[in-house]
C-alpha cells in the first residue's frame, strides 16, 4: 500500500521557500496541505500559494493571540472565506497563556468565527491553550457541532478530547506527541478513534523527533504518523490512509 499523507495544519507562508518545502514533502508521500491563516493579512499570500499549488488548501481567520486592536468584521470574514479554496475557518479559539486582564475580546472574536463558520457551513480550526473549559463550553453553547472541525495541535487530556469528540470534532496530533515528556498526550493518542484523528506539523513550529529543535517542514508529518502507529500497534500505512480519509471527510476540499 502506498503511503499518502496530508499535513492538515501548516503555515507554508512562514517557510523560507514554499516550492522547496512542497517538493520535500511530496518526496515523502505528503500529497495535500492545509495552509492555515493566523491573520487576515495572510490572505493574499495564501491565495497565491493555493493558486500555484492545486493540492494546497487554505483557511481564513484571526488567531486568538492577535491583539484586540486587530479588528475583524463578520462581513469581511465571510467575504474572504467564501472562496472555494478556503475550506475552513480559523485558526480561532482561546489562548489564556499570556492573556492578562479582560478575556471578553478574545471570547467575542471566537464567537464571531463560530457564527461565520455556521453561516458558510465550513469547519472550524480550534486553537486552545490553558483555556480548555471555556473553549469546550463556548463550542457547545454556540452550536459549533453544526459545522464541526478540528482541535488542532491537541495537547489536552482525555476528558477534553472526549468532550470535543462528542461535539463532532476531530483531534489532530502534531510533533509534540513524539516528545519524551508528552506521556499524557501519548495516552490520548492511543484512545482517539482512528476515524476521528488527523495529523499535522504546524510547521515551521514544533518539529517532531528526530528533528526537534530545528525548523519544521510539512514533510515531517510522516514522523508523526510513524510515532502514532507505534503507540497504537498499527501499521504506518493504516495511520496514513485513515488520517488522509478523515481530512477529506471533514474538509471536503474541491477536486
Domain of 123, CATH number, reads 3.20.20.140
113 is in an annotated binding site: no
53 is in an annotated binding site: no
- The pLDDT confidence band at residue 73, using thresholds 50, 70 and 90, is confident
Instruction: Tell me if 152 is assigned to a ligand binding site.
Output: yes
Instruction: Give the total number of structural domains in the chain.
Output: 1
Predicted TM-score (pTM) of this structure: 0.97
Among 148, 196, 139, which Cα is nearest to 170's? 196
Domain containing residue 124: 5-251
**Which pLDDT belongs to residue 98?**
86
Residue 76 predicted with pLDDT over 60: yes
Is residue 25's pLDDT more than 80?
Answer: yes
Annotated binding residue 127: yes
The answer, yes or no, to whether residue 2 has pLDDT greater than 80, is: no
Higher pLDDT, 217 or 102: 217
Asked if the model's pLDDT at residue 1 lies above 70, the reply is: no
**Residues in CB range of 31: below 8 A, 6 or more apart:** 4, 5, 6, 55, 244
Helix (H, G, I), strand (E, B) or coil at 9: strand
**All 3 cell numbers of residue 43?**
490572505
Residue 98: CA atoms inside 13 Å, Cβ hemisphere, count? 4
Rounded CA separation 60/109 (Å): 13
Query: Annotation-wise, does 43 bind a ligand?
Result: no
Residue with cell 467575542: 108
β-bridge mates for residue 170, sequence order: 150
> Per-residue pLDDT averaged across 121-140, rounded?
98
Amino acid at each position: 500500500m502506498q503511503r499518502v499523507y496530508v499535513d492538515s495544519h501548516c503555515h507554508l507562508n512562514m517557510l523560507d521557500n514554499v516550492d522547496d518545502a512542497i517538493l520535500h514533502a511530496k518526496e515523502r508521500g505528503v500529497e495535500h496541505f492545509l495552509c492555515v491563516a493566523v491573520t487576515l493579512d495572510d490572505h493574499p499570500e495564501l491565495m497565491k500559494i493555493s493558486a500555484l499549488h492545486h493540492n494546497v488548501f487554505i483557511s481564513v481567520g484571526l488567531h486568538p493571540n492577535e491583539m484586540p486592536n486587530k479588528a475583524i468584521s463578520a462581513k469581511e470574514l465571510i467575504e474572504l472565506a467564501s472562496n472555494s479554496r478556503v475550506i475552513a475557518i480559523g485558526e480561532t479559539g482561546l489562548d489564556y497563556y499570556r492573556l492578562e486582564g479582560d478575556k471578553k475580546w478574545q471570547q467575542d472574536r471566537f464567537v464571531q468565527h463560530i457564527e461565520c463558520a455556521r453561516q458558510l457551513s465550513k469547519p472550524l480550526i480550534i486553537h486552545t491553550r490553558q483555556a480548555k473549559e471555556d473553549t469546550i463550553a463556548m463550542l457547545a453553547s454556540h452550536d459549533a457541532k453544526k459545522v464541526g472541525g478540528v482541535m488542532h495541535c491537541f495537547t489536552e487530556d482525555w476528558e477534553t478530547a472526549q468532550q470535543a469528540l462528542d461535539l463532532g470534532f476531530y483531534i489532530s496530533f502534531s510533533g509534540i506527541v513524539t516528545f519524551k515528556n508528552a506521556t499524557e498526550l501519548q495516552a490520548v493518542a492511543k484512545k482517539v478513534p482512528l476515524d476521528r484523528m488527523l495529523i499535522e506539523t504546524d510547521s515551521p513550529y514544533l518539529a517532531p523527533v528526530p528533528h526537534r529543535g530545528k525548523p519544521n517542514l510539512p514533510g515531517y508529518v510522516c514522523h508523526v504518523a510513524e510515532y502514532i502507529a507505534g503507540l497504537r500497534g498499527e501499521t504506518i500505512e493504516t495511520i496514513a490512509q485513515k488520517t488522509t480519509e478523515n481530512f477529506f471527510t471533514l474538509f471536503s476540499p474541491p477536486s
